[in-house]
Amino acid sequence: MQKIGVAIIGPGNIGTDLMYKVIKKSKYLDLKLVTGIFAESEGLRLAREEGIETSARGIDAILERDDIKLVFDATTANAHMKHAPLLREAGIVAVDLTPAAVGPYVMPVVNLNEHLDAPNVNLITCGGQATIPIVYAISRVTPIPYAEIVATISSKSAGPGTRQSIDEFTITTSRGIVEIGKAQKGKAIILLNPAVPPMIMNNTIYALVETVDEEKITKSVENIVKEVQEFVPGYRMKIPPTFDGNKVTVMVEVEGSGDYLPKYSGNLDIETSAALAMAERIARDRLLKIKKGE
């Protein structure tokens, strides 16, 4: 099967988990390179064990090649702000797993087939991928003047990149609640829980709605949960929609698939799963165009 050459920049927790997903699950992606800035990093060591070419020269190792057409950026928001124009100039599609939000927001269960020709697409945040589908499901039934999400993750699953981008997380997720979730106003909060043993990702979604239709809202939420489960099996509704006047509360938890990281790191798993789904769709679209001679 013909595939598109891809690279991963940022071999931390997210980048390494994504590497195993591409190797094990991808139909249309050929992982050519994993690159970072520390030659002795654990992620680069694991990539070499899998027979993947590695580099410690960061984005420079990508830009000097002509066989890489798509790059997963799993660094930090600040780093991606520097990478994005370089990748665009080189004609390389960027699938951004940081909260930099250079390109349009994408979420598999909402707009997987949109932005296939965009030079840069943004996966929002792990908290956004876990919670915004619920906001979107409610907004399909009734307008939402305000929505708020609280994402609680294990402290052990938050690596240096995640910690450096906390401020960007709250800003980008809040915007995603509005742009993708269709709430009129949104707010996002992330909590790092140091509990031992580590807890799996838990998310609480609050929405103020204009019209309270309990049956329709509940059905819409149940349907979106099933759609997310198609690419993240460990996505589960912990508490179904509960109603208090015009306030709707939903709780969901995310257990990881264990491709690389422990299963409690569902926050990383849902982000890398979404990135893989989007990249697969972009690659499939490009390969079909090549086949048709477009």
Known binding positions for NAD(+):
267
User: How do the residues of the chain divide into helix, strand and coil, expressed in percent and rounded to 5?
Assistant: 40, 25, 35
41 catalytic? Reply is no
Known binding positions:
267
Q: Tell me the angle at which helices 42-49 and 13-25 cross, rounded to the nearest 10 degrees.
A: 20
CA-CA-CA-CA dihedral for 174, 177, 178, 180, to nearest 10: 130
Q: Tell me the angle at which helices 166-179 and 126-139 cross, rounded to the nearest 10 degrees.
A: 20
> DSSP string covering 10-23, please?
--SHHHHHHHHHHH
Q: Which two three-digit tokens encode residue 126?
A: 């792990």
Which residue of the set 22, 106, 126, 254 is catalytic? 126
Three-class secondary structure of residue 101 per DSSP: coil
Residues acting as catalytic residues:
126
